[in-house]
Every structure is written in C-alpha cells, then in structure tokens.
Amino acid sequence: MDFSFTEEQTLLRNMVQSFVQDNYDFDSRMKIVHSDEGMSHEIWGQFAELGLLAAPFSEEMGGLDGGPIETMVIMEELGRGLVVEPYLPTVVLCGGILNRHGSDAQKEAHLAGIIGGEDIWALAYSEPQSRFNPADVLTSAKADGDGYVLNGTKAVVAAAPWANKLIVSARISGDQRDSDGLGLFIVEKSADGVSTQDYPTVDGNRASEVTLENVAVGADALVGAAGNGLALLEEALDHGIGAVCAEAIGHMKCLNDATVEYCKTRKQFGVPIGSFQVLQHRMVDMFMEYEQSVSMTYMVNMKLSEGEAERKKAAAGAKVQIGKSGRFVGQEAVQLHGGMGMTEELNVGHYFKRLTVIDTQFGNVDHHLKRFAAA
C-alpha cells in the first residue's frame, strides 16, 4: 500500500501550482470571467506549452502518458485557482473518449489539436428531460447512406460556447431510455444545422443549449461501435467524476485555509472569533469533511481503470461524498465569514458557487446514492 506520489507527479503538481499562483490570482480570474469571451486563450495556449493538455495521451501521440492520478493532480491545482478554462471537457471528457475508444484515424485527426491547444471540445450528452440519466436520449441519429443525420437538443453543455468541436450522444436505435442503441458522434460546431444559445453559469463558466437540426455526419464521426455509446459515455462521466472530485478538494482546501485564517484574525467581543469553541468545532468538521473527500478522491481515481462494476461503484460513492462535503464546507465557510462571506468581492463565495455546481455536475447526491445502492 502506498499513497505517496511519484517524483514526476510531484513535479507536475508543483508546476501547475506555481503556474496558477503566478498567472491566475483571484483578480485575474474575475477579469477573465467577466470578459466577453469568458475564458483566456492566452492561458489555454500556456497550458499547451506546459504540456498539460497532453497529460493523458500516449507518447506516440505526443502526450505524456499520464493516467487518472496525473489528471487528479492537475485538477486539484486548477481547482485551487478556480480555473475556468475548459480542461475537464476538452482533455478529460472528450480527449478521454477519443483516447480510449477512437480509431487510429480519429486519434490521428483530433488528438494533436487538443494537445496543441488549437481545439476546444465539449461533451453534449444531457438533454432537457434527461436530468442525470445519460441513457435518457431523444436526440436521434438516423443512418443515411454511409453516415448519419442528427436531430435533437442538448442541455447545459459546459464549455460549448468556447468549443469548436463536440461529442454528441444520439440514439441510433431503441426507445428513449434504452441502454442499447446510443452512439457518440464527433460534430464540428460549425457544421450546418448546429446552433447554440450561449450563457454564463453561476460558477463563472459558460454553457449552451445546443440544437442539432438535420446535421449530417460521416461514418467516421462515430466513436466506438454503433449502439455501444452508453458504455463509453458512462465511463467518460466516471472519469469526469474523478476529475471534479479532485477539483473540489482543491476548492475545499482553499476554503478551509481561508476560514481558519479569517477566524484567527477577525476580532469580535475583543477576541479572535476563532477562540469560540462552537466555531472551532465547526472548522474541525470542515477539516474532517475535507479529509474524507481527499480519501474518496484518491480512491476513485485509483479505481477508474478497474472493471466496470468496481469503477461505477467507486465513482458513485466518491460523488456522494464530494457532494455532501462540498455543500457543508461551502456553506460553513460563508457562515463563518459573516457578512464578508456574502460578498462577490471575496473569493470564498466563488468557491462555494463552484462547489454547488459540482454537486449537480454528472449527477447529484441522490442520483449517485441510488447508483451506489444498485451497484
């Protein structure tokens, strides 16, 4: 048994950490969030230069051959900086799908663009009616000659305003919630028939409603086998969970540190408020939630490459932990900061809001409790 990081992993962490510290302080972050674009292409280019966008890909593709642990290390550090640039959808979700299941030709065609920072990807899988069930898909993919024609609407697609490429889940056969019959399709956002309604989200990110109207794609757009899309998608979402868990422990760590620091310095009744035992215990609880979350984050990221049953259970369990702990830590950090915690000016509220969105992303606590119980 060994929970220590390799030297390379530690170097990776140090590199991302110092990059974020030097280039992504809270003020810079808020400037980016409030800009028209909502992300910084300059930062994205620097991610490419640092090799972050190459982390999970094989060396022959120009990557670093990293696994979930490397992704975890990166995401945790990005979490500390509340980074909005779309690492998760581009590299972890879509990059992961292409890397694991893309044909040689698809990898050839697409991975270089991710690694080089030219392309941004979004995973369009949820629909207005689907809530958290990725099998609930009304978007249709009708075979047409060699290719397919896609029709449907995708909901709250994270990073889609920035993306030039999408992976879209669509139903090739079967009924609305059948687990068989889905396909994952690579779609250029500029293709005829793709339109988006773009908007900001509460956590400072951007998302879109994506409408597909008779969008024609070739046979080479399909990733993996026809009808097998759900398995690929679920696996990708579990990898997404491993990544947001790591992001969330980055947030929680910052919130806990900020809260302890604040309670040591903020004085009321002539003493630091940290001297009140109720607040001490609250901070101890926050600390314990954080530690439990770290444990579950390590656990899930070590199990992502195991068999499907084990992976699913691990992901569901971790997501429940993160959902509950994130909520507790976020709410208490605001509470212990008093009025200051309510202000847009302080970073505390922004960590809290991102943690709130993470609780919903890829399915909330109730959803994953059910999934865990069924696993």
Partner 1 sequence: MDIEFAPQDEDFRAEVRSFIEENYPKHLVGADRGDLSKEDFLAWHKILAKKGWVAPSWPEEFGGTGWTVTQKYIWNEESASFGTIPPLPFGIGMLGPVIYTFGNQEQKDWVLPGILSGETWWCQGYSEPGAGSDLAGLKTKAELDGDEYVVNGHKIWTTLAQHADWMFCLVRTSSEGKPQEGISFLLIDMNTPGIEVKPIITIDGGHEVNEVFLTDVRVPAKNLVGEQDKGWTIAKFLLGNERSGIAGVARSKKAIDRLRDIARAELEDGKPLLDCGAFSRKIAELEIDLTALEYTELRTLASESKGQGPGPESSILKIKGTEIQQRITELTMEAVGNYASPWVPQLDRGDNYLAIGPEHAEGVSQTYFNNRKTSIYGGSNEIQRNIIAKMVLGL
Ligand X SMILES: Cc1cc2nc3c(=O)[nH]c(=O)nc-3n(C[C@H](O)[C@H](O)[C@H](O)COP(=O)(O)OP(=O)(O)OC[C@H]3O[C@@H](n4cnc5c(N)ncnc54)[C@H](O)[C@@H]3O)c2cc1C
Cβ atoms of 54 and 225 within 8 Å: the answer is no
Site for partner 1 in 15-54 (CB under 8 A): none
159 near ligand X, judged by CB under 6 A: no
Provide the token pair at 97: 């799908």
Nearest of 136, 131, 132, 98 to residue 115 by alpha carbon: 98
Total chain residues near ligand X (CB under 6 A): 13
In sequence order, which residues have a C-beta less than 8 Å from that of residue 140 and are 6 or more positions away?
150, 151, 152, 170, 171
Is residue 334 within the footprint of partner 1 (CB under 8 A)? Answer: yes
Structure tokens at 193: 């028939």
Question: What burial letters (b/e) apply to 289-314, b meaning 16+ CB within 10 Å?
Answer: bbeebbebbbbbbbbbeeeeeebbbb
Please give the backbone phi and psi of residue 229, each rounded to the nearest 5 degrees, phi first: -60, -35
Measured from the CB atom, the residue of 298 and 328 that comes closer to ligand X is 328
Size of the site for partner 1 (CB under 8 A): 48
Q: Is 279 in the site for ligand X (CB under 6 A)?
A: yes
Greatest CA separation for the chain: 78
Question: Contacting ligand X (CB under 6 A), which of 143, 338, 360, 366?
Answer: 338
> Structure tokens of 318?
């971790």
- Closer residue to ligand X, CB minimum distance, 4 or 277: 277
User: Does 251 help bind partner 1 (rule: CB under 8 A)?
Assistant: no
**Near ligand X by CB under 6 A: residue from 278, 309, 373, 374:** 278
Q: How far is CA 186 from the centre of its chain?
A: 19
Candidates 165, 303, 312, 350; binder of partner 1 (CB under 8 A) is 350
271 binds ligand X (CB under 6 A): no
- Tell which residue, 66, 87, 62, has the closest CA to residue 76: 87
Does 325 bind partner 1 (CB under 8 A)? Our answer is no
Region of 132-140, 172-180, 335-343, 349-357 interacting with ligand X (CB under 6 A): 335-343
Q: Quick check: 335 binds ligand X (CB under 6 A)?
A: yes
344 binds ligand X (CB under 6 A): no
Find, among 329, 335, 316, 375, the residue nearest to 355 by Cα.
329
**Ramachandran region, residue 151 (left: φ > 0; alpha: ψ -120 to 50; beta: rest):** beta
Assess contact for 36 and 74: CB atoms under 8 A: no
291 HSE (CA, 13 A, CB side): 6
Distance, in Å, from the CA atom of 179 to the CA atom of 169, rounded to the nearest integer, reads 12
Contact 92, 239 (CB under 8 A): yes
- For residue 202, the partner it binds in partner 1, ligand X, none, with Cβ less than 5 to 8 A by kind, is partner 1
Task: Determine, following the binding rule CB under 6 A, whether residue 331 of this chain makes contact with ligand X.
Answer: no
CB of 271 to ligand X, least distance (A): 9
Out of 195, 268, 305, 360, the only residue in the binding site for ligand X (CB under 6 A) is: 268
- Residue 276 or 372 with smaller CB distance to ligand X: 276
Q: Name the residue nearer to ligand X (CB basis): 307 or 339.
A: 339
Q: How far is the CB of 348 from ligand X (least distance, A)?
A: 12
Does position 329 interact with ligand X (CB under 6 A)? The reply is: no
CA distance 39 to 195: 20
**First-to-final CA distance of the chain:** 25
Partner whose binding site includes residue 18, from partner 1, ligand X, none (CB under 5 to 8 Å by kind): none
The residue whose Cβ lies closest to ligand X is 338
Footprint of ligand X (CB under 6 A): 266, 268-269, 273, 276-279, 335-336, 338-339, 342
Footprint of partner 1 (CB under 8 A): 126, 128-129, 131-133, 136, 155-156, 176-177, 197, 199-203, 207, 209, 267-270, 273, 276, 278-279, 331, 334-335, 338-339, 341-345, 349-350, 352-353, 356-357, 360, 364, 366, 369-370
